[in-house]
Chain A
Amino acid sequence: DTEVTQTPKHLVMGMTNKKSLKCEQHMGHRAMYWYKQKAKKPPELMFVYSYEKLSINESVPSRFSPECPNSSLLNLHLHALQPEDSALYLCASSQETSGNRETQYFGPGTRLLVL
């Protein structure tokens, strides 16, 4: 099973709202990722968690706040977003063994529209 699930599938929010994106995997992977993807562009890495600790933050604005409550769950808290933050938000996970991270498996994404 290589399934990563994401909720919600679609989200519309105003610039003053607070919302959260959720990601879950049950493959025993210890690395989890958030990506942002704009139309006709490749995914852009936002954050990486390794063993529930933040290991990469790609200089993402503080209006995006990641959280990894346990090894299976990854959240992305959203606050005071801008219309240009509208995009497909992708979660991924990978196995991590002996200092290597294996293939990343992606979820279906959350389509976010900021009005």
Chain B
Amino acid sequence: EDQVTQSPEALRLQEGESSSLNCSYTVSGLRGLFWYRQDPGKGPEFLFTLYSAGEEKEKERLKATLTKKESFLHITAPKPEDSATYLCAVEGRGSTLGRLYFGRGTQLTVWP
């Protein structure tokens, strides 16, 4: 079965202190890896889709990278408004079309 593990579970950063979140996955042929940001009580907000190893995407202070076994979400010079839970999900070619496997998320807190 496809599996996703995110680490760390929680991360506290001082404003401006760059760091990375990890998403390790096991999947029978990757169809896509997705990063979402979720604020408390809100729906997940789409950030990035990655399809193949070596791919990178950037948006403001965030950069997502992908290897054959894991993805990293790099946060450069974070601000308090970046505080949220970051979810990683994968869709495998061996899975039913449209079924995403989510990790448990990394809860990021950025303090001033």
Binding site for B on A (CB under 8 A): 2, 4, 6, 31, 33, 41-43, 45, 48, 50, 55-56, 88, 90, 92, 94, 99-109, 111
Contact = CB atoms under 8 A, between A and B. Distances in A.
A90 B98 CA distance: 15
Contacts, number: 61
11 contacts: A43-B87, A43-B102, A55-B97, A88-B41, A90-B43, A90-B44, A101-B91, A101-B97, A103-B46, A104-B34, A104-B46
Interface in B89-112: 89, 91, 96-100, 102-105
Given A56-B99, A100-B97, A103-B49, 18 more contacts: A4-B43, A41-B104, A42-B87, A45-B99, A48-B98, A50-B97, A55-B98, A56-B98, A88-B41, A94-B98, A100-B31, A101-B98, A104-B46, A104-B98, A106-B36, A106-B43, A106-B46, A109-B42
Main secondary structure of the interface of A (DSSP, over half): strand
Scoring B96, B98, B103, B104 by chain A CB atoms within 10 A of each residue's CB, the highest score goes to B98
B16 to A, nearest CB: 28
A90 B102 CA distance: 14
A4 B45 CA distance: 11
A88 B96 CA distance: 24
Contacts of B98: 31, 33, 48, 50, 55-56, 94, 101, 104
Contacts of A31: 98
B9 to A, nearest CB: 10
Nearest to A41: B104
B32 interface: yes
A109 B41 CA distance: 8
Chain B's interface size range is 20 to 34
Contacts of A4: 43
A2 B44 contact: no
Contacts of B89: 42
B34 A56 contact: no
Contacts of A42: 87, 89, 102-105
Nearest to B6: A42
